[in-house]
Amino acid sequence: PAKAIAQAYRRRWDIEIFFRFLKQELNVSHLVSLNKNGIQVMLYMTLITAMMVLIYKKANNIGYKTAKRRFSMEVRDLAIALIVVHCGGNPDLFFKT
């Protein structure tokens, strides 16, 4: 029936919009894994990251692209600081202004 076809098309369109979001907004250009578990892990991690960026955006009252850029820089700096501390260094030397 026409109603079932319309519902299937709507679902397909929602999936297309989701993958466009992954590709354009989160820069996911290809799947790292081809098995079901690997794809699920990648999608969950991508969705968690997207939610964290949206929370960051709302908390700082800024636009999405600015939030994405700032969030990635802060996560990068935090990761570097943790590595420096783990290696016995002083992270304050890295963050000199």
pTM of the model: 0.65
| Residue 61 DSSP label | T
**Measured CA distances, 44 to 54, 56, 80 (Å):** 15, 18, 24
pLDDT band with cut points at 50, 70 and 90 for residue 16: confident
**Tens digit of pLDDT for each residue in 27-83?**
777 777 788 898 888 888 888 988 999 999 999 999 988 999 999 999 999 998 899
In angstroms, rounded to a whole number, what is the distance separating the alpha carbons of residues 84 and 95? Answer: 11
For residue 2, is pLDDT > 70?
A: yes
Count Cβ atoms within 10 A of the Cβ of residue 68 and give its class: 0-12 exposed, 13-18 middle, 19 or more buried.
Answer: buried
Domain residue limits, the chain: 1-87
